[in-house]
Amino acid sequence: MRRPGSLAVLSLMFACRSGPPGDLPHASNCGPPSGQLAPTATAEGLAGEYRIRLVATSGPRGGAAAVGSVRLRPVEDSLRSPPPVLGIHDSLTILPLRGTAQFDARSLGATVPGDLGADDPMAPGVLVLERHSGRAREPASIVLRVGADANRRDALRFDGGFLALTVRRMDGAGFAGTWASGSGGRQVGGYFCADRIAP
């Protein structure tokens, strides 16, 4: 005989079950992403506002999680190309989006290279880099570089702390991937999921 409430429990289990392989996990049940981006993937469609959850899997804070928000918007046309390095222009990389973030990176053991909430187009809190290999059928690398000091256009950084989120999966509901951070030879990392809450 089935106990009262068991149907409700079964219904909840099926409702929380993972969706099809193409679906992104929601931030509330975020897990390490697998696979890689499609060869046609671009960062252009990532503009919007997101709820983000980051989980540390390495370092002294392994197992810790932080939740917050990320806002992305298109970069001004004149700033879509990275500044030249030692006079050399990078024709394979574009900077399609910039924005701001709000989450406690230090609670994950991550290094924070500057203000995450900076809204300065010349040194934004978040800058999206889309790098192409130049080879057919190979997906682009899409990375969110976090921290205004790391994103300054008027300063050339060869070392120092970093915090970078690499996109591994994306669809209309959001994106997910892995993150890494380090400073002075020490590096930590984990995974993240970002759910879209506004276009």
* Per-residue pLDDT tens over the stretch 101-134: 999 999 999 998 999 999 999 999 999 999 998 8
Mean pLDDT across the chain, nearest whole number?
85
Predicted local distance difference test score (pLDDT) of residue 20: 35
Residue 44 to residue 33: CA distance in whole angstroms: 21
**Is the per-residue pLDDT at 94 higher than 80?**
yes
What is the per-residue pLDDT across 9-33, written as a single tens digit (0 to 9) for each? 333 333 333 333 344 545 557 888 8
Query: From the CB of residue 34, how many other CB atoms can be counted at a distance below 10 Å?
Result: 9
Q: Can you give the pTM of this predicted structure?
A: 0.83
The torsion defined by the Cα of 26, 30, 36 and 40, in degrees rounded to 10, comes to 20
Residue 42 CA: distances (Å) to CA of 26, 34, 94, 128, 183: 21, 18, 10, 11, 29
**Is the per-residue pLDDT at 49 higher than 60?**
yes
Q: What share of the chain is helix, strand, coil (3-state, %, to 5)?
A: 15, 40, 45
Residue 164 to residue 24: CA distance in whole angstroms: 20
Check if the beta carbon of residue 125 is closer than 8 Å to that of residue 70: no
Residue 162 to residue 56: CA distance in whole angstroms: 15
Residue 180 to residue 133: CA distance in whole angstroms: 21
- Domain ranges for the chain: 49-198
Residue 52 to residue 55: CA distance in whole angstroms: 10
Predicted local distance difference test score (pLDDT) of residue 196: 97
